[in-house]
Chains A and B, each alone.
Chain A
Amino acid sequence: MSAVLETRALCKSFGALTVADKIDFKLEPGARHALIGPNGAGKTTFVNMLTGVLPPSSGRIMLGGEDITALGQATRVKLGLGRTFQINALFRRLPVLDNVALAVAERRGVAPRMLRAASAHADVRAESMELLATLGLAEDASQRILDLPYGKQRLVEIAIALGLKPRVLLLDEPAAGVPSLESHRILQVLDKLPPEIAILIIEHDMDLVFRFAQRITVLVQGEVLVEGTPEEIGKDKRVHQVYLGEQRHG
């Protein structure tokens, strides 16, 4: 099976500082893949290059066999690349429904319309409500984000990305800031995500990573240290040395 998302010798340096060093990475269709590594390993930089926020210094990014290295953020989204943010990037003063509907409307091409009222677009509303229901947020649809508990805000973060119906979903620390007692709620939602979506998750919560991922890539100082199944990674001495031994929080 060919990879749905692939990077070839992807590099990024800021002056003398190299934060991504010839990263070769493959995400298979329907994958549940985790990217882990100590703080400052370059995980977020990697995601930002994948999504088009940061231009790579060299190397290539392929989505579904198509070279997307030079394409802008919006075009990549249209091609099926969705993401969530480590720090909530929500429309804080808008209702939960609108947060999701904005994404759904963009995907359906409804967003630039000017003549009919937004609320008259029943298809956008229905799809958004359905999505909220699957995440257990139906009752919160009319709440503003800033009136919502933090754990639920994290779920809205995922709901917006799902509104784009992505082929590939990048989850940047979906459980960040959520108390460990509540992180099972996030895992429940992640387990229910459509199996056809290829998911790359970046996460510090090792319990969550080892329960969710089928493959794990370990990134250290901008380089891929090792890639394998959770069992292989769990046994790997180097991983214990640089990562698990060093910090076992989260």
Chain B
Amino acid sequence: MSRHAGGYSADPRIRAVEWLPWIVAVAAFFVLPEYLSLGARILIYILYALSLDLIVGYAGIVTLGHSAYFGLGAYVAGILSAKAGISDPMLQLAAAAVAGGLLGVVTGAIILRTRALTLLMLTLAITSVLLEIANKASSLTGGADGLSGVVVAPIFGMFKFDIFGKTAYLYCLVVLLAGWWLVRKLIYSPFGTSLTGVRENSLRMHAIGAPVYWRLVLVYTLSATIAGVAGGLITQTNQFVGLNVLSFESAGELLVMLILGGVGRIYGAFVGPVVYLIAQDMLAKQFPEYWYLGIGTMLVLVVMFARGGILGIFDGLLAKLRRQA
């Protein structure tokens, strides 16, 4: 599962190995029924990490504020249900997507005029402002207590969200499948290739007449939309929204997951959240006080010895095997 780079000579057909994550996801549904709520959480974070990979890995926009769009999506879906009484999951998800996208286009249009550290600081500022708004507007958001009373009606009026999380898991899996298909399509398209061009050399992209700024605003908006959907899903599966969805920690944690899995290779966004959230779950049970130490050690090892993330390690091994063969 090497890098997925797109481009004018890349074969866009889905390779056999790319079905592996889906087979694992379906198998997990049958084999590990007691872990389905953790499973759903992982699926949501994969979608969230995919949206981040699109801008970080392909367009080269580094951000520490992606939780703004995830969090907004989460709150919009939650408020729609708890305050406006709209309990249809599809409507909630669509509203979360639109909200994420709208915030993406407005904030993107402002911050993408800057670059590097300035851009990074601005992404942080946006999510901090949103967090403070959510904290203060407690009549709408529940403030620090969180927003409870989220009701999600059966999907298409047929599939009820059950207490074992079976419906939620499959629902998240289907939404993730759609998100993956979209992101993959984008990466292999001329648009995706031009984003890679911006990442590699934005000066030259300007010189060949590419409207670099608008391309970046567009991909940022698409990414924010997907993050909004992921946020909507987290609300629907938890039936609760806490302030932490908007926090800087959540955005940082997401970036850590992506780096752990591997940046700019689509499936790094799959591997990262799986490893991170399972490790978090296991370590938190074993060492409730020190589990961050384990996560930290893992990240240090990856950054020091595997710059391409966990998938990068496999790439290296495969290359070695081929040389020997």
Interface residues of A (CB under 8 A from B): 51, 73-78, 83, 85, 89-95, 97-98, 101-103, 105-107, 110-121, 124-125, 128, 141-142, 160, 163-164
Would A102 and B208 be within 8 Å (CB), given that A90-B201, A121-B190 are in contact?
Answer: yes
Residue among B5, B186, B209, B210 with the highest chain A CB neighbour number at 10 A = B209
Complex CA–CA separation, A119 to B4 (angstroms) = 14
Contact at A94–B7, with CB atoms within 8 Å?
yes
Q: Provide the residues of chain A in CB contact with B9, threshold 8 Å.
A: 95, 97-98, 119, 125, 141-142
Q: Provide the residues of chain B in CB contact with A106, threshold 8 Å.
A: 194, 208-210
Taken residue by residue from 1 to 14, chain B's Cβ proximity to chain A (1 for < 8 Å, 0 otherwise) reads as: 00001111111100
Q: Tell whether B160 is near chain A: CB-to-CB under 8 Å.
A: no
Complex CA–CA separation, A93 to B201 (angstroms) = 10
Within 8 A of A (CB), among B4-37: 5-12
Would A112 and B8 be within 8 Å (CB), given that A78-B209, A107-B209, A164-B208 are in contact?
Answer: no
Taking the closest CB of chain A, its distance from the CB of B182, in whole angstroms, is: 9
Q: Tell whether B135 is near chain A: CB-to-CB under 8 Å.
A: no
Q: Provide the residues of chain B in CB contact with A117, threshold 8 Å.
A: 6, 10, 12, 188-189
Closest partner residue, chain B, to A125 (CB atom): B8
Contact at A77–B191, with CB atoms within 8 Å?
no
Contact at A91–B207, with CB atoms within 8 Å?
no
Contact at A164–B209, with CB atoms within 8 Å?
yes
Contact at B204–A89, with CB atoms within 8 Å?
yes
Q: Tell whether B211 is near chain A: CB-to-CB under 8 Å.
A: yes
**A117-B6, A125-B8, A160-B208 known; 18 other A-B pairs, CB under 8 Å?**
A51-B207, A73-B207, A83-B207, A85-B204, A89-B201, A91-B201, A101-B8, A106-B209, A107-B209, A110-B190, A111-B190, A112-B194, A117-B10, A117-B188, A119-B8, A119-B11, A121-B190, A142-B9
Would A93 and B208 be within 8 Å (CB), given that A110-B190, A115-B185 are in contact?
Answer: no
B8 interface neighbour in A83, A85, A97, Cβ under 8 Å? A97
Judged by DSSP, the binding face of B is helix
Complex CA–CA separation, A102 to B211 (angstroms) = 13
Complex CA–CA separation, A107 to B194 (angstroms) = 12
Contact at B203–A89, with CB atoms within 8 Å?
yes
Q: Provide the residues of chain A in CB contact with B210, threshold 8 Å.
A: 74, 102, 106, 111
A115 interface neighbour in B189, B204, B208, B212, Cβ under 8 Å? B189
Q: Provide the residues of chain A in CB contact with B6, threshold 8 Å.
A: 117-118
What would 25 A/B residue contacts be, using CB atoms closer than 8 Å? A73-B206, A74-B206, A74-B209, A74-B210, A89-B201, A91-B197, A94-B7, A94-B197, A97-B9, A101-B7, A102-B193, A102-B208, A106-B209, A107-B208, A111-B190, A112-B190, A112-B215, A114-B191, A115-B189, A117-B188, A118-B7, A118-B188, A118-B190, A121-B190, A164-B209
Contact at A89–B207, with CB atoms within 8 Å?
yes
Closest partner residue, chain B, to A79 (CB atom): B209
Closest partner residue, chain A, to B205 (CB atom): A102
Q: Provide the residues of chain B in CB contact with A73, threshold 8 Å.
A: 206-207, 209
Contact at A98–B8, with CB atoms within 8 Å?
yes
Q: Provide the residues of chain B in CB contact with A83, threshold 8 Å.
A: 207
Contact at A91–B204, with CB atoms within 8 Å?
yes
Contact at A77–B209, with CB atoms within 8 Å?
yes
Q: Tell whether B200 is near chain A: CB-to-CB under 8 Å.
A: yes
Taking the closest CB of chain A, its distance from the CB of B51, in whole angstroms, is: 16
